[in-house]
């Protein structure tokens, strides 16, 4: 009895959580302008989305392109910067380590709007013109801490002697780095990259404040402007549906990977 | 070995430039007028501005209510999910985490559209529902994390010593899960108190939150007043983060 009640509670919550997403998915297969007005089955919205031939605004595709470009560049730089930083932090001690860890936590605790406003003021103060560069720099700022936190545990697990052993056996420091360190850290770097990538995809407020006035739109800012104008571009529905599915698949892959890694560790 | 600690220097410089300096600038701008002279005017303007003050109060209220509702709904869910008797599949947990990875704006928009579809008037009720809907996973996940890692022998020991299941829950499970609740509170309260787009969508601009005022001031070039308002929010955030010291452990294991 208790078990049934518990199950019901969980499933009711899940149904409520997913209802809006499911409705969007259902209504991505009809051409109506507004949600809830079923005008017969059609895949035209998907076709329009993929061919870029949209009823209303055609800048949706460029917003998607910008989102992906910014997320890729920001995640790549964050992974590089964060990994190097993690190696440094791992070898620091005492007060310095505490200080840099504290600074590293600030962008994670700060709400987006504070990060956005403060970086906006920085770009104004330094007279850096705002556009792709400022948005990417801002994204690196809030993504890197997650990479650092993903790589640090791998450094702790790593046997410090194997790097020294490589050097003793005649490897140059850079060989030892690329052939010994990086493979050991790779799982942490990969999850750091994925985290950074999704953080960047997800961001609205920071992009909103740092994109300047050149008309640079990411998916989030596009949705925001579109919704404020009233009347959403119908092609957003198939786009959202595709994104939901993509994320679900990604999450399953990540979890399976992690499961396998945990099992491997348990076996060792 | 010691030389490799220098590898942290590029990131340290980056942090000083893109984290510390911007926060100092918020402080500087907040205490300056348009011409760059020192003034307390922006701060006094906030404390005498009835609109800003009432918006501030509404924001705090909405954030507190959202957080409370998330605890009330999320704690039982996390407890059930972490309890092997009731749930053995990892898929259910993935299903609960999944919305955290979908753009919040998109989810909010989907909810708002659903309200419109069923002719529900947008207002305080829909705002709260939408916020809880948006942030519930952020409450469930950290609590689940703590509960599922909890050593079951504590509860067993309490039972052996004669505690009823209700007492075990009240005296053992709840106190031990507090770190999870604390980081859940942080992960729900912070974004809800500072949001601007979400509230605009969910109430059709009927209810203004503090974040919206900051955004309006910054976007209409009232940088100094905007910075002063951001400073007020920073203080709120600082106070909140004092309540949960060890949140990074939970956040680090997000996937």
Quote the pLDDT of residue B245.
Answer: 57
Convert the pLDDT of each residue in A154-184 to its tens digit: 998 888 888 889 989 988 888 888 888 889 8
Structural domains counted in chain B: 1
Per-residue pLDDT tens over the stretch A14-53: 998 888 888 888 988 988 877 777 888 888 888 888 777 6
Q: What mean pLDDT do residues B200-214 have? A: 87
Contact at CB, A198 and B101, closer than 8 angstroms: yes
Residue B34 maps to a domain = no
Task: Determine the residue among B231, B252, B253 to mutate to test chain A binding: the one whose Cβ has the most chain A Cβ atoms within 10 Å.
Answer: B252
Q: Say which DSSP state B172 is in.
A: I
Mean per-residue pLDDT over chain A, rounded: 87
Which CATH number is B230's domain given?
1.10.3720.10
Q: Find the range with the poorest average confidence among A87-91, A210-214, B28-32.
A: A210-214
Gap between the Cα atoms of A90 and A97, Å rounded: 8
B139-152 pLDDT, tens digit per residue, is 998 999 899 888 88
* B86 CA: distance to closest CA in chain A (Å): 6
Q: Please tell me whether the interface predicted TM-score (ipTM) of this complex is above 0.90.
A: no
CA–CA dist B170, B175 (Å, integer):
8
Assess if residue B32 is contained within a domain: no
**Predicted local confidence at residue B247, as pLDDT:** 46
Which candidate from A195, A202, A251 shows the least CB-CB separation from B98? A251
User: Is B44 a member of any domain?
Assistant: no
Domain carrying residue B124: 49-254
Q: Which helix (H) or strand (E) holds B231?
A: helix B223-242
Q: Is the pLDDT of residue B184 over 80?
A: yes
Q: What part of A 85-104 touches B (C-beta under 8 Å)?
A: 85, 87-89, 91-93, 96, 100, 103-104
Decide if pLDDT at B254 tops 70. Answer: no
Q: Quote the distance between the C-alpha of residue A183 and its chain's center.
A: 23
Is the predicted pLDDT of residue B31 greater than 90, yes or no?
Answer: yes
Instruction: Report the alpha-carbon distance of residue A266 to residue A268 in Å, rounded.
Output: 6
Contact A85 B117 (CB under 8 A): no
B35 domain-assigned: no
The answer to whether position B61 is within a domain reads: yes
pLDDT band at B255 (very low <50, low <70, confident <90, very high): very low
């Amino acid at each position: 009895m208790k078990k049934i009640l518990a199950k019901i509670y969980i499933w009711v919550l899940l149904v409520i959580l997913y209802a809006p997403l499911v409705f969007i998915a259902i209504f991505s297969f009809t051409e109506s302008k507004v949600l809830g007005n079923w005008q017969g089955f059609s895949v035209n919205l998907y076709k329009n989305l993929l061919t870029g031939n949209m009823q209303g605004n055609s800048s949706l595709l460029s917003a998607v392109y910008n989102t992906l470009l910014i997320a890729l560049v920001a995640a790549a730089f964050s992974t590089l910067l964060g990994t190097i930083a993690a190696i440094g932090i791992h070898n620091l001690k005492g007060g310095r380590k505490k200080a840099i860890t504290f600074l590293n936590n600030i962008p994670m605790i700060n709400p987006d709007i504070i990060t956005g406003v403060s970086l906006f003021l920085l770009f104004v103060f330094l007279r850096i013109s705002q556009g792709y560069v400022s948005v990417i720099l801002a994204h690196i700022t809030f993504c890197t801490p997650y990479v650092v936190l993903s790589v640090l545990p791998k450094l702790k697990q790593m046997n410090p002697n194997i790097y020294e052993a490589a050097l003793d056996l005649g490897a140059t420091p850079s060989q030892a780095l690329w052939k010994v360190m990086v493979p050991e850290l790779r799982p942490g770097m990969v999850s750091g990259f994925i985290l950074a990538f999704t953080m960047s995809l997800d961001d609205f407020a920071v992009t909103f404040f740092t994109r300047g006035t050149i008309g640079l739109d990411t998916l989030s800012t596009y949705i925001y402007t579109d919704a404020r104008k009233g009347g959403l571009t119908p092609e957003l529905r198939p786009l959202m549906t595709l994104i939901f599915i993509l994320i679900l698949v990604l999450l399953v892959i990540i979890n399976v990977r992690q499961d396998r890694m945990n099992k491997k560790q348990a076996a060792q | 070995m010691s030389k490799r600690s220098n590898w942290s220097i590029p990131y340290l410089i980056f942090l000083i430039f893109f984290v510390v300096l911007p926060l100092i600038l918020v402080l500087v701008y907040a205490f300056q007028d348009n011409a760059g002279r020192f003034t307390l005017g922006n701060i006094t303007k906030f404390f005498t501005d009835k609109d800003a003050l009432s918006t501030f109060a509404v924001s705090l209220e909405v954030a507190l209510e959202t957080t409370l509702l998330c605890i009330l709904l999320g704690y039982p869910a996390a407890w059930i999910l972490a309890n092997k008797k009731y749930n053995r599949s990892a898929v259910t947990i993935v299903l609960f985490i999944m919305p955290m990875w979908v753009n919040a704006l998109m989810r909010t928009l989907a909810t708002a559209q659903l309200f419109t579809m069923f002719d529900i008037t947008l207002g305080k009720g829909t705002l709260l529902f939408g916020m809880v809907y948006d942030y519930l996973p952020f409450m469930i996940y950290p609590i689940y994390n703590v509960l599922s890692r909890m050593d079951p022998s504590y509860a067993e020991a309490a039972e052996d010593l004669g505690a009823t299941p209700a007492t075990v829950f009240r005296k053992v499970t709840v106190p031990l899960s507090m770190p999870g609740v604390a980081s859940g509170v942080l992960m729900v309260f912070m974004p809800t108190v500072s949001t601007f787009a979400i509230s605009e969508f969910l109430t059709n601009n009927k209810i203004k939150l503090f974040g919206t005022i900051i955004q309006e001031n910054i976007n209409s070039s009232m940088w100094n007043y905007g910075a002063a308002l951001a400073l007020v929010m920073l203080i709120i955030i600082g106070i909140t983060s004092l309540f949960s010291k060890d949140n990074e452990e939970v956040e680090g294991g997000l996937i």
